[in-house]
């Protein structure tokens, strides 16, 4: 297996596991459901899975996006920039609009039956003004669109529009640009601009750097995976041990680069040995599950806590795994039904993946 084939197969394989990681990030419930301090097993296990292991997912997707945006290297001309944006309007912008519209419509239809269940503090869609309808596509819910998990797509679109500046910064400053942005990201510095996060800027730029310089980041990760794994294990342990410390957040964030290298490197090694293989149509399934899971997961979790009323540590931990599993099963079923009977619709809502 040559390097190009390994890179392609590794990214293809990782798409679905990383999407499942995103679902697990959103499956962790907070103090609106439980008093976490009284549930040490649930709090520790869910923190390790949702706040440590799964946190590599979004940065990985930004890296992949930046790499594919610039993978041909060479000059970045106005014509090539326009061509890239036109292509992404079909694969990213259109699904973004359609999924937000779908969630808005589902809220509108379901509100008479689920009022006060899904989001108690949310204003009813039927009461939205025209301005709030427009705002729902950008930053209605505390900086998120109405389909909240699509903040990644929103930020990705913004960073792609700004890609000429990233290109010239990387050309002029090379890897020093990444070092500066990484330092800002590690400290939690923010531009305080909706849809322009330092996470998007750093990891999209990292992928862009590998694309522009034509470096194989999968091969690099595979080569240094073992020291990265050791560092990641120690940092994850430190994250758990010092969880109650006010500065633990810096440990959590600093562990993410090591986690990214470990995730990509180990996956590449297993893919290369043919132990792991990507499923057919994985890109379409992954994108569908990513766009689909938010509202169903919220509703499933609320219903589970309402009707089962779990009190014990293990019961809540069980729901932590059960709720996303139910949503994933529903999502997979819907995907295959729509893909089989309404393939054009599936192509539209997954950007032709």
The answer to whether the beta carbons of residues 200 and 155 sit under 8 Å apart is: yes
- Look-up of token digits 């090379």: 174
pTM: 0.93
Tell me which residue of 247, 242, 167, 151 sits closest to 199, measured CA to CA.
Answer: 151
Q: What is the DSSP string of 223-253?
A: HTHHHHHHHHHHHHHHHHHTTTSTTHHHHHH
CB neighbourhood size of 172 (10 A): 9
Q: Return d(Cα 106, Cα 295) in angstroms, integer.
A: 9
Q: Return d(Cα 115, Cα 156) in angstroms, integer.
A: 33
SS3 124: coil
CB neighbourhood size of 247 (10 A): 7
Q: Check residue 31 and give its pLDDT.
A: 58
CA distance readout (Å), 317 to 45, 94, 290, 295: 8, 37, 23, 21
Q: Return d(Cα 342, Cα 87) in angstroms, integer.
A: 23
The answer to whether the beta carbons of residues 346 and 338 sit under 8 Å apart is: yes
SS3 192: coil
- Look-up of token digits 């292991």: 53
CB neighbourhood size of 144 (10 A): 17
Q: Check residue 108 and give its pLDDT.
A: 87
Backbone angles phi, psi at 141, to 5 degrees: -100, 85
pLDDT in 10s for each residue of the chain, 353 residues = 688 889 999 999 999 999 999 999 999 886 566 765 678 899 899 999 999 999 999 999 999 999 999 987 767 889 999 999 999 999 999 999 999 999 999 888 887 776 655 555 567 888 888 888 999 999 876 789 999 999 999 999 999 999 999 999 999 999 999 999 999 999 988 887 888 899 999 999 999 999 999 999 999 999 999 999 999 999 999 999 999 898 999 999 999 999 999 999 999 999 988 876 666 566 688 999 999 999 999 889 988 988 888 888 899 999 999 999 999 999 999 999 999 999 999 999 999 87
| Token code pair at residue 121 | 């503090």
Q: Check residue 352 and give its pLDDT.
A: 86
Return the half-sphere exposure (C-beta side, CA atoms, 13 A cut-off) of residue 11.
20
Q: Check residue 70 and give its pLDDT.
A: 93
Find residue 144's DSSP bridge partners.
Answer: 141
Contacts of residue 303, Cβ cutoff 8 Å, sequence gap at least 6 = 117
Q: Check residue 125 and give its pLDDT.
A: 83
The answer to whether the beta carbons of residues 46 and 239 sit under 8 Å apart is: no
């Amino acid at each position: 297996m040559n390097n190009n084939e390994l890179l392609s197969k590794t990214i293809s394989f990782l798409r679905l596991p990383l999407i499942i990681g995103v679902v697990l990030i959103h499956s962790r419930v907070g103090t609106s459901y439980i008093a976490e301090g009284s549930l040490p097993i649930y709090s520790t296990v869910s923190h390790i899975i949702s706040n440590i292991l799964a946190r590599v997912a979004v940065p990985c997707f930004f890296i992949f996006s930046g790499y594919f945006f610039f993978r041909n290297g060479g000059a970045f001309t106005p014509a090539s920039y326009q061509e890239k944006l036109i292509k992404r309007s079909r694969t990213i912008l259109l699904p973004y609009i359609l999924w937000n519209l779908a969630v808005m419509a589902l809220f509108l239809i379901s509100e008479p039956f689920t009022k006060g269940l899904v989001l108690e503090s949310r204003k009813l869609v039927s009461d939205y003004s025209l301005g709030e309808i427009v705002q729902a596509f950008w930053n209605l819910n505390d900086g998120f669109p109405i389909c909240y998990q699509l903040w990644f797509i929103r930020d990705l679109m913004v960073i792609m529009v700004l890609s000429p500046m990233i290109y010239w910064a990387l050309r002029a400053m090379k890897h020093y640009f990444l070092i500066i942005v990484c330092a800002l990201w590690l400290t939690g510095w923010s531009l305080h601009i909706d849809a322009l996060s330092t996470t998007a800027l750093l990891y999209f730029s990292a992928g862009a750097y590998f694309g522009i310089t034509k470096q194989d980041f999968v091969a690099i990760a595979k080569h240094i995976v073992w020291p990265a794994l050791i560092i990641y294990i120690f940092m994850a342990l430190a994250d758990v041990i010092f969880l109650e410390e006010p500065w633990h957040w810096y440990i959590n964030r600093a562990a993410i680069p090591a986690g990214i290298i470990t995730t990509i490197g180990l996956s590449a090694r297993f893919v290369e040995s043919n132990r792991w293989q990507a499923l057919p149509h994985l890109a379409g399934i992954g994108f569908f599950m990513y766009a689909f899971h938010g509202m169903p997961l919220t509703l499933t979790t609320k219903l589970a806590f309402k009707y089962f009323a779990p009190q014990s540590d293990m019961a809540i931990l069980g729901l932590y795994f059960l709720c996303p599993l139910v949503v994933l099963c529903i999502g997979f079923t819907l995907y295959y039904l729509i893909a089989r009977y309404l393939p054009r619709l599936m192509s539209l809502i997954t950007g032709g993946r």
